[in-house]
Amino acid sequence: MSSYKIIDHEYDVIVLGAGGSGLRAAVGLSEAGLKTACISKVFPTRSHTSAAQGGISASLGNMGEDDWRWHMYDTVKGSDWLGDQDAIEYMCREAVPSIVELEHYGMPFSRTEDGKIYQRPFGGHMRNFGEAPVQRACAAADRTGHAMLHTLYQQSLKHNAEFFVEYFALDLIMGDDGTCEGVVAWNLDDGTIHVFRGHQIVIATGGYGRSYFSCTSAHTCTGDGNAMALRAGLPLQDMEFVQFHPSGLYRQGILFSEAARGEGAYLLNGKGERFMETYAPSRMELAPRDIVARAEQSEMDAGRGIDGKDMIHLDLRHLGKDRIMERLPQIRQLGIDFLGIDCITDCLPIQPTAHYSMGGIPTDKYSNVILDEEGTRMKGFFAAGECACVSVHGGNRLGTNSLLEAVVFGERAGKSVLEYAVGIDYGNINEAQEKTRVLEKFEDVFQRDGSESYNDIRDEMKEIMMSHCGVFRDEERLKVCIETLNGLQERFKKGKVTDKGKLFNTEIYEILELGNMLSVAQLIATAALRRKESRGGHFRTDFPKRDDENFLHHSMVYGTPDGLVIKPKPVVITKHQPAERTY
């Protein structure tokens, strides 16, 4: 360990992650005058938020009458009644001022002819409590996340937030009283180790889609924050709920936004039929994502995929060149770049693809991390964005609510930090012990000289998660999945490292990510086996009905010396009682 140069830092606040939620927290904190460090393993504008294409939802009413109460109802219904309604109400109320704020920050929204923010329809968004479709998704063409990310990064620079870019967070520093007091990070550029102490910590590290073979997530979405929280003794919530997007590029997973269907694209099976009429006749292609993804998988399983393969056609040809070039330019370019297919003249091959993580680090509606099913807050520790589970999405996320969640709860995390920050000093830690603990684990990876291939382990994890814990699940497949993951965990300890260098060692970087993904994958499969019902993105073919009597609760997964333990946490129901979810 003496070979490592260790550099210590002290800040008022540490923000871990520089996507939409991390940057929005950093903007608020730095604007308020707090000394703020933002740590990211990629350059902020390369964060996965930039991949969000279709829009960010808010009941502005620019394209027809709308109301935040309707938005709330759609979100509750879309969550299959597993979303916490106090948090959902907060998010939908705050949506409009959040959009106005982004506009004032300079976000380049698409505009209507009279200069208002353009809004497009999206799956599951309705007017008057389900009466008819509504245009609620505020869009910047089909590059909305990209536009938002750049806007927030510019604002954070304006207010002098300090960035530590290409720093890989190794583990959280825990205080003597169980509080989170900082983070240890590895600077990829020069191999130095950095210890960041903070009065408060905001974790915003994104999702864990890369646990699956086919996913829309960036390669950086490996569940690092979730795995660190688990190692620190925190529970994770609702990990069984993984959303599969209906339109991932066949065999590659690159996202073709729901904006395409919002603008009027068709889904066609191998017979050229618009098959959604069978599954969601009133909403067709604009049914919620979990329903559309299962419909596509059902068509493919029945042998009605394109040319008998596991793919469906996304047809935009009838929209015409002008509309595609104005509203969907990125989708067209992706088809050309990755397939050599121009969607103006030909259909795009797609398949259901792992897209969004509804589960994560449990928080309340004020972004405070909570320790148990009773909602006990952890002092000085906050989470926001996809790594968190404030449970506005429940069992299934409505399209465009992810960017909204990121900005609303990123801002809320900043406000909560400010409320907590007054009079707070650094907590007590055994600094030498904490540094030793983290560096010994880090060095252990470097010294591994076993016979197992980490690449093989990674590929096998992704394949088993896709085939046995994907769109459709059952007890037999989930048990095989868990057994396989347990075996992969043992093989992971016997891997062989070939690059022993300390400078920008991408092999070690990817091994650390793989360890995090294996931990997360075990939680997903274990929680999925425990939930013997079908709800939202979790569909059990052996339990195809929703079971409110036994499973209208969140799953809190704890890591213990004896294995994973799952405890129920009540769902917050304030206005809308559970009802049948139909479209």
Active-site residue (options: 289, 412, 473, 540): 289
Adjacency order of strands within the sheet including 236-237: 236-237, 553-560, 563-570
Name the E strands within 17-105.
36-40, 56-57
CB within 8 Å of 301: residues ≥ 6 apart:
none
3-state SS, residue 311: coil
What tokens does 284 get?
A: 């067709």
240 vs 581: CA distance, rounded Å: 19
Strand 193-203, strand 6-16: pairing = parallel
Q: Tokens representing 374?
A: 């009773």
Helices in 206-345 by DSSP H: which ranges?
224-231, 259-262, 276-279, 289-301, 321-327, 329-339
18 HSE (CA, 13 A, CB side): 28
Contact 291, 156 (CB under 8 A): no
Show the tokens assigned to 47.
Answer: 């964060």
- 573 three-state secondary structure: coil
Distance CA 70, CA 362 (A): 26
Rounded-to-integer distance, Cα 488 and Cα 495, Å = 10
Find out whether 399 and 392 touch, Cβ atoms under 8 Å.
Answer: no
Amino acid making up residue 130: G
> How far, in Å, are 39, 48, 147, 386 from residue 152 at the CA level?
15, 14, 9, 17
Q: Is 46 helix (H, G, I), strand (E, B) or coil?
A: helix
* Residues 528 and 240: beta-carbon distance below 8 Å: yes
Write 546-550 long-range contacts (CB < 8 A, 24+): 546/80, 546/581, 548/81, 548/578
Q: Is residue 214 within 8 Å of residue 253, measured between CB atoms?
A: yes
Distance CA 326, CA 322 (A): 6
Q: Which residue has the tokens 């030498």?
A: 432
Buried-exposed string 98-109: b where 16+ CB fall within 10 A, e elsewhere:
bbebbeeeebeb
Is 111 catalytic? The answer is no
Residue of 120, 242, 105 lying closest to 521 (CA atoms): 242
Q: Report d(CA 470, CA 245) in Å as an integer.
A: 11
Query: Which residues is 10 bridged to in the sheet?
Result: 197
Tokens of 146: 């990209």
What token pair was written down for 482? 């868990």
Inter-residue contact 167 to 227 (CB < 8 Å) = no
Q: Do the Cβ atoms of 259 and 120 come closer than 8 Å?
A: yes
Q: 506: buried, middle or exposed (CB in 10 Å: 19+, 13-18, 0-12)?
A: exposed
Taking residue 294's Cβ as centre, other Cβ atoms within 10 Å add up to: 20
Active site residues: 289
